Amino acid sequence: MIGLIAGVEPHRSNAAVMESCGKRRSCDSWRAASGGAGDGNTGIMDETVLFLVFRSINWEPRLICLAACVSRRLRAVARRVLFRELCVARAPRMAAALTAGGAAPAGRLGGGWHALAKLLFFCCGCAAATRFFAPVERPAKGHFVAESRFSKTSGRSFLPRRCWGDLLYVSDTCEHAASTGGGEDLGAYRGVFRGFVRSRTRAWLIGKRAELEVRTRCPYCGARVWSMTAAGLVPRSASRRLGAHHGSLEYFVCVHGHLHGYCWLAHLSSSSSSSGDHYSSSSSSSSSGEDDKLQEEEEGDEGRVQF
């Protein structure tokens, strides 16, 4: 890379030269698409150089965060370019779905790409009790996650029937041990809507004049949030999907469409764990059939991200 920056190319095989030319064309096309924004800077501040450096390390999230802390200019480059490329590289199908159909005009997401990148790789935990969630004796701190799976079929379980036209990705539950004495662990989960401004969920919240929370903020973009529990938009399918008792969960959606929430996860009994059965809070045949249908639909709709 040093040789490329200095304009000196050592002796290489024809295959290596062709590969380098391909990478240069890719870089040139990216630079043209971004309007040549890096022309005003030189050296490490050149956006093209930063693009090449972080692409070579597969868009390592923690290093991008460290770079964004160096200066205001690097933070601006990270928010405009690096976090977007991180999301596209690590979760390409999910990023494509979230930006399809004009949901992200001019490539801009609600809350910014940096907020989506944080949502992909960071579990917000649960630091304090909320209006509808039991107090946490031992707060669960936020942390980076080694791997996450986001599913739009899981997201559909969090939407009432009137809002099934919306596209919502929700992660698997991140379990945190909690000393409540009830044999339950704290589960934290997160998600994101596509085009939340035009969603049925937002239209219903606005139409019913649901109030924004006073104390709670979105842990990913800092915007104000609605409590879906207070708005009466928590379906029973959400409890079944999480493996939690109905009424022992709460989740919020911010004005940019980021979702975060908590629940109490019931442990498997010894007999259930020995037989290999999964916990389910409902045994009715109708809900079982619906879950089977959702399981069939879920194949191929997942987005996995990992360090």
Distance, CA of 256 to CA of 224 (rounded, Å): 9
Burial of residue 34, with CB atoms counted within 10 A of its CB: 0-12 exposed, 13-18 middle, 19 or more buried: middle
Going by C-alpha positions, the residue among 123, 52, 120, 122 that lies closest to residue 87 is 120
CB atoms within 10 A of CB 42: 9
Going by C-alpha positions, the residue among 190, 306, 167, 283 that lies closest to residue 242 is 190
- What pLDDT, on a 0 to 100 scale, did the predictor assign at position 184? 73
Distance, CA of 125 to CA of 113 (rounded, Å): 21
Three-state DSSP class for 15? helix
Distance, CA of 219 to CA of 211 (rounded, Å): 19
Report CA 4 to chain centroid distance, whole Å. Answer: 35
Distance, CA of 237 to CA of 65 (rounded, Å): 36
- What pLDDT, on a 0 to 100 scale, did the predictor assign at position 298? 45
Distance, CA of 161 to CA of 155 (rounded, Å): 12
Per the CB < 8 A criterion, the answer to whether 263 and 241 are in contact is no
Q: Which residue has the tokens 């031992």?
A: 138
- What pLDDT, on a 0 to 100 scale, did the predictor assign at position 272? 41
In one letter, which amino acid is 191?
G
pTM: 0.74
For every residue of 60-88, DSSP letters joined together read -HHHHHHHHTT-HHHHHHIIIIIHHHHHH
Output the 3-class SS for 216-278: EECCCCCCEEEECCCCCCCCHHHHHHHCEEEEEEEEEEECCCEEEEEEEEECCCHHHHHHCCC
User: pLDDT 10s digit of each residue in the chain, 307 long?
Assistant: 334 333 334 444 555 544 555 555 455 545 544 544 444 555 556 788 889 999 999 999 999 999 999 989 899 999 989 999 999 999 999 999 999 887 777 778 889 999 999 999 999 988 777 777 765 666 778 899 988 899 999 999 999 999 999 999 999 999 887 655 556 788 899 999 999 999 999 999 999 999 999 989 999 999 999 999 899 999 989 988 888 776 778 899 999 999 999 888 876 554 443 333 333 323 333 344 444 444 434 444 556 666 5
Domain boundaries, the chain: 2-90, 105-306
Distance, CA of 104 to CA of 239 (rounded, Å): 31
- What pLDDT, on a 0 to 100 scale, did the predictor assign at position 181? 54
- What pLDDT, on a 0 to 100 scale, did the predictor assign at position 147? 86
- What pLDDT, on a 0 to 100 scale, did the predictor assign at position 290? 44
